[in-house]
Structure 1
Amino acid sequence: MASRSPPPAALGSRVPRRARARHWLLVAGFLLLALNLRPALTTVPPVLAEIQRDFGLASSVAGLLTTVPVLCFAVMSAVTALLSRRIGLHNALSLFLVLVLVGTVIRGIGTAALFGGTVLVGVGIAVANVLLPAVVKRHFPHRAGLMTGLYMMFMGIGASIAAAATVPLAGVTGHGWPVATAMWGVLCLVALVCWAPTREPPRTAALEAVPVLRFRQLARSPLAWQLTVFMGLQSLGYYSVLTWLPSLFMDSGLDARQAGLLLGLANLSGIPASLTTPMIAHRMRRQSSLAVLLLFVGAAALLGLMTAPAAAPVLWVVLLGLSQGGAISLALVLVVLRSRSTEQAAELSGMVQACGYSLAAGGPFVVGLLQDFSGGWVMPVGFLLVCLVVQVGAGALAGRPRHVDADSDERHGGVLGK
């Protein structure tokens, strides 16, 4: 009897199709992960006044709703690379989605659930913050600029849509902010369904010949600290603006809906810069000029918010979004470009984000204190402007072409080995 097995050519044609399907599933899952990085955070500021009213929170305590996740970023970033080595890169990112889903859904139950859910959200997002650059290094090393830009773009889309739509959703549902913020957990479910099939056992990952750097070794690298200051101060500015920009505009005479839309526009306007900055940076030998350019854009926005916030609010938030979107994407692509392997990228990302977010965590709280102390916004925005100048100086230094292991090795007499 003649064999009914398909000819070799047919078998060969199936393999590339399956490989392509797996590749596009990986890309889709990766981008859906990025889409879930910010909605759990950006849904809070537009309804912060309602949260304060419902739970009787002072401004400084309300600022903790943004500060607590950043503290979680700092703590968890230090151990996320270890977690990835223990349970696998893909499994750790699935854990991120589960934690953010649970934290998002429970926050409206009561005061304890509000802060408990905020902790879960912060822990989950911290895992993804650290590991997404490692995913780029492992799966897309020759498209680092493009994939970093795409995941920053999707992160910005998620942030902007969530910020702009939460207040309208609260009105449409008729159940206020608890339901409107919890609804964004649906995005986590969609991402989990898409990402879960891409899981791979940790043991299947090939060991790379490039040495893995631990924190003790990275701490000897000036480059690692330059990246840390650059990303830390960028995050300080971002989370301070995320928390207080709607309040600034409402104090200037705008209503809550307008202020929420402006926050959404700030995130939305950062998308073009988030997409293009990593692609441009990947083609450049030195990225210092990009950091300096972002200084001028961000400084113009902050000066406008300091002196005449209601005069041209759309212009100020567009400039602010371009500056912040470009800066965070530049920081993340520099983590990829300044490391030689997936493991180095994860460890460097962990240090940069653990120390950087420790620096950033106090930003919303300090801005709230300065606002309470001064009764206005000139002093808080001036504080952010000073931080921006220091941030760009660190970025200009980190933009010089070298790798983090060579940087530390040269400074300390070959301690890392080759």
Structure 2
Amino acid sequence: MTSAHRHLPPLWVMTLGLVAVAANLRTVMASVPPLVETIAADLGLSSAAMGALTTLPVLCMGVFAPAAQKVAARIGAPGAVEIAAACLAVGTGLRYFGDLVWPLYAGTFAAGVGIAVGGTLLPGLVKELFPPQRSGLVTGLYMFAMMGGATASSALSVPLMGWLGSWQGSLASWALLGVVGLTAWFPVARGAERHRAATAARHDLEHRLPWRHATAWLVAAYLATQSWQFYSSLAWLAPTFVAEGWDPTHAGYLLSVFSFAQLVSGLLGPALSDRVHDHRRLLLLAALCGLVGQLGLWLGPTAAPWLWAVVLGLGQGAAFALALVLIVDYSATPSGSGRLAGMAFFVSYSIASLGPTTMGALRDATGGFTAVWMSLALLMLLQIALAWRLRPGLRRVA
């Protein structure tokens, strides 16, 4: 270990901090859908207003991703992630006062800003703080924690409402996980600040987004295509089977299976990337899994619904986790990784936030979900084409 790296906490402490923060990056969104009907009836909100509770964080993830770089330029990426963790905890806790409408949306907005800053800067910190030969495994743990938080918050929202006596308490209870993330990240931020001070001469001070970089646009296009499909699938998988006559509870279980499959592939994909030089093999395998799931939901949804959900989840989980690996791989420095993440997330999430609404309009126009899954399957062909172009040796962001 170099003298500079002696300033860093032990590897397990940094991994714990990363995982604890990552576990909060989807809970604010995933905890809402099971409670939509209850919240809408209690507050008298329309379906469009309720949809904003899920769309608002996704929009924040796109709009505020570039701002993350400006904050990091002023106080350093570790300190910016600490602020992001605080925004997540405070914003989630503010939803306890959801008997008034404005705290519900204000809290969601604050948490969305935290998601944008944390999600943008963490890939660069993986490159800066962890050994290169462990970047895939650490990225997999990051993905596993993020999707694990989403799965848990979705599955426990209704039981927590019963245990705590209100939907407000259920939504706000995830602030405790935010406090855990903030606490676990504190020693990482302090050690990383000492590390950055010891290596200040070698740090890249460029923080402009790489708008003229061809590789950055390719990664952004891939992530935009993947994210559009993921958020559209998340929004419409359960309603597809409710329309087929399923009980909503069982449709919710199907959505949980979809999320759990992402946990598995989200950890496995990046771990394998440490051993597979040409990541296109893994990217294409993930895309083919997603395509099989979408074709099944398009052509024969009731033939094997649980299989389609599992295969689609495996493909979506691996595709997103590998996109995080690409952000690390296609950057020459930690600053370059943060700049690439800022641009890719701004482009992809701004576009992906329109996915569920667009697919919903398509469903309304056609009177069913067949066209939705057909469109997503066709879009997967574009993802396959983009994955094929993500070859080793592309010019890196530096």
TM-score (ref. length: structure 1): 0.86
Conservation of the 8 A alpha-carbon contact between 2:70 and 2:207 = no
2:159 corresponds in structure 1 to 168
State which structure, 1 or 2, has the greater radius of gyration over its C-alpha atoms. 1
Matches within 5 A, 1:260-299: 260-299=252-291
Match of 2:197 in 1: 204
Which residue identity does 1:88 align to in structure 2? G
Q: 1:243 to 1:65 in 2, by over 3 A?
A: farther
**1:382 counterpart (353, 374, 394):** 374
Aligned to 1:327: 319
Corresponding position of 1:39: 27
Q: Aligned pair count?
A: 388
Residue correspondence of structure 1 range 52-67 to structure 2 within 5 A:
52-67=40-55
Shift of 1:178: 2.2
Deviation at 1:245, TM superposition (A): 2.6
- Give the superposition deviation at 1:234: 1.4
Structure 1: tracts of 5 or more residues without a match = 1-14, 407-418
1:297-316 matched pairs, under 5 angstroms: 297-316=289-308
Establish whether residue 116 from structure 1 lines up as the match of residue 98 from structure 2.
no
Counterpart position of 1:88: 76
Hey, what's the Cα distance between the residues in 1 that align with 2:329 and 2:285?
A: 20
- Once residues 392 and 85 of structure 1 are traced to their aligned partners in structure 2, the CA distance between those partners, rounded to angstroms, is 35
State the 1:64 CA deviation: 2.4
Secondary structure, aligned partner of 2:64 = helix
**Is 2:140 aligned against 1:149?**
yes
The alpha carbon displacement at 1:115 in A equals 2.3
- CA distance in structure 2 between the aligned counterparts of 1:54 and 1:320, rounded to whole angstroms: 34
Q: Distance in 2 between matches of 1:296 and 1:187?
A: 35
Number of the residue aligned with 1:11: none
- Aligned residue number for residue 102 of structure 1: 90
- The secondary structure found in structure 1 opposite 2:274 is helix
Residues 246 and 282 of structure 1: is their aligned pair in 2 closer, same or farther, counting only changes over 3 Å?
same
Cα deviation digits, residues 354-375 of structure 1 (max 9, x gap): 1111111211221222223323
Partner of 2:64: 76
User: 2: distance between equivalents of 1:392 and 1:41?
Assistant: 28
Q: Structure 1 residues 103 and 246 mapped into 2: Cα distance closer, same or farther (>3 Å)?
A: farther
1:288-340: CA deviations, max 9, x gaps?
22222222211121122234434433212211210111001110001101111
Is 2:180 the partner of 1:190?
yes
* Paired amino acid for 1:120: A
| 1:402 aligned to which of 386, 394, 398 | 394
Residues in 2 aligned to 1:282 and 1:348: alpha-carbon distance in whole angstroms: 20
Alpha-carbon distance, 1:222 to partner = 1.7
Match of 1:410 in 2: none
Deviation at 1:185, TM superposition (A): 1.3
Distance 1:105 1:161 in 2: 17
**Contact 2:89-2:175 within 8 A present in 1 as well:** yes
2:17 is matched with: 29
Give the structure 2 partner of residue 372 of structure 1: 364
Contact 2:60–2:109 (CA under 8 A) maintained in structure 1: yes
Residue of structure 2 in register with 1:253 after alignment: 245
Partner of 2:120: 130
* Deviation of 1:49 (Å): 2.8
For 2:102, give the aligned amino acid.
Answer: A
Change (3 A) 1:257 1:75: same
Distance 1:131 1:247 in 2: 34
Maintained 8 Å contact 2:223/2:323: yes
- 1:187 positional shift: 0.6
Displacement of 1:147 in angstroms is 0.5
- More moved, 128-137 vs 111-120: 111-120
**CA deviation map 1:162-186 (0-9, x unaligned):** 11221222233332x3222221111
- Give the distance between the partners of 1:390 and 1:35, measured in 2 at CA: 30
CA 1:274–1:85: 2 relative to 1, 3 Å: same
- Distance change >3 Å, CA 245–CA 114, structure 1 → 2: farther
Q: Say whether the 8 Å CA contact 2:126–2:135 is kept in structure 1.
A: yes
Secondary structure, aligned partner of 1:199:
helix
- CA pair 212-291 structure 1, distance change in 2 beyond 3 A: farther
**CA separation of 1:129 and 1:112: change in aligned 2, threshold 3 A:** same
Query: Residue 146 of structure 1: CA displacement?
Result: 0.9
- Structure 1 pair 305–171 and aligned structure 2 pair: CA distance change class (3 A): farther
- Aligned partners of 1:382 and 1:55: how far apart in 2? 36
For the structure 1 residues 135 and 377, does the alpha-carbon distance in structure 2 shift closer, same or farther, using more than 3 Å as the test?
same
1:339 maps to which of 325, 331, 340: 331
In the TM superposition, residue 85 of structure 1 has moved relative to its aligned partner by 1.8
What displacement does 1:103 show?
2.1
Going from structure 1 to structure 2, the CA distance change for 1:117 and 1:386 (only over 3 Å counts) comes to farther
